[in-house]
Every structure is written in structure tokens, then in C-alpha cells.
Amino acid sequence: MRFFLVFIAGCTLGPVENRDVNSTRDDVVYGLEALFAPDDPVTQLELDEINRVVLARLADPVGEPESYRIRYAVYNLRNESIVYALTNARNAGVSVQILVEADQLDAARDWNWADDWLIDAGFSFAADHGQLTDEQRGETELIGIDDSGLMHLKTRLFETPSTTTLITGSMNPGDNAVLNEETLHLVREERIVAKFETAYEAVLYDQPLQNSWDEGMALNVLFSPEGSGPTAREKIFEWIDDE
């Protein structure tokens, strides 16, 4: 099973300066913001980030397509607003790629309608990433991840030439997931965003994840299954022992 744990130390992750990001609080852009379903506007958070990339693309229609990207890895996808927004982003010239747990694409799971919608909308599709070459993995827009465990990495990356933001957390974009007790984190801190970019590529290309830990940082993230480095289990037991 591919998953992650975010560890926040007992100090504040400070504001990020000079970042061209629309979402602010009191005119300060923070490196990490946390939202909680069902009370916070979690769907709107995702729609805002999708629309941010779309607006940037429309303002630069002749720019390189790979400079305007949405890379969207989730266990499943059924939220109508998000499915339609991702389709509109693709139609606006944004490079959109969606990774989904392969089992969720099974035709027998007829409640998972989004794959049929996206394919009908023109998304190129592969049910099993293992059947694709590396070049095809980079180009295919909707891909089922068929691994030894579940593809449980919730990683939404929203990229323009000026910035890349990340949305992660426990929440999948399901139809009724907004009614659950869930979390979503909007991350702008470049070091953490880069780690999730690496994790996304590792899932797509079957590469081992290399974990690292910096005691001097307010925020760290560990992924599983790890190829090397500390594990989430080790850190949790270490803290329990310290208590």
C-alpha cells in the first residue's frame, strides 16, 4: 500500500514570502494550511487550485504545456465538481494526469463513473500502468495503478511557471466524502512539495521511495513502502519510547 504520514513538530511553519498564490489569510501566504471535513470548504479548496492553474494557462495560451500541469493521484474519484473541473482544465490547455487505484476502475464497480466520463471527454486511458512503457506512462492522462498494495497516495499537484502547490490529506474526492471526518492540507512549502512530486513519480514509474528526516525542520513527511531511510513506524515508536 502506498501511503504517507506528515509529521508536524511543535513549532509554527512560517509564512512563505513572495509567492504568487491566490489563497491567503490576512495578506500572508502560509506554507501549510489544514482544512477539516465536514466543516471546512474542502471541495472548494481543490476547485480553487484547479482554477488557479486554468486562469494562468488562459493568460499564457502559447506557453509550454508542461508549465501548466495538474497531477492528481487519489484512491478513487467521484466528486462531480472536481471531475468536471479537471475536464475543463484539460480543455483549457492544462496538462492533466490522473492516477487512480486500478481496482477502482473495475467495470463491476459501476458506482465509479468518473473514468467513463473522462474517457468520453477525450482523456487517454490505461487500466494498468504496468502495461505501459515509461514514455506512455508520462503521456497517458488517466492511469490505473496496479501494484502489490493499494495506491493510497493522496497527492494533488497544481503547477504554473511561478509556483507549484500540493493538496494532500486523508480525503479522497468521492461523492459523499465531504460528509466524513477528513483532512485536507494545502502545502506551499517548496521542500515538502518537492517530496510529494518525487513520490508521485515513484508511483507512476515503479521507483523506490527514499525517505529522509531533518530534525531541524518544523515539517517532515515519510512515505510507505519506503526504499530506504526512516519509516513512519520507527518514528512513532521512537516518540512513544521518549515519553
Per-residue pLDDT of 145-169, as tens digits, reads 998 778 888 999 999 999 999 999 9
Beta strand pairing status for 125-126 and 69-74?
unpaired
How many Å apart are CA 73 and CA 78, to the nearest integer? 13
Q: Is the pLDDT of residue 96 over 90?
A: yes
Q: Are 32 and 174 in contact (CB under 8 A)?
A: no
Residue 138's CB: how many other CB atoms inside 10 A? 13
Please, what are the domains in the chain? 3-233 (3.30.870.10)
Where residue 122 falls among pLDDT bands split at 50, 70, 90? very high
Determine if the pTM surpasses 0.75.
Answer: yes
Average pLDDT on 133-154 reads 92
How many Å apart are CA 237 and CA 243, to the nearest integer? 10
The CA-based angle 47-99-221, given to 5 degrees, is 80
On average, the pLDDT of the chain sits at: 87
Q: Which residues sit opposite 101 in a β-bridge?
A: 145
Beta strand pairing status for 142-145 and 95-101?
parallel
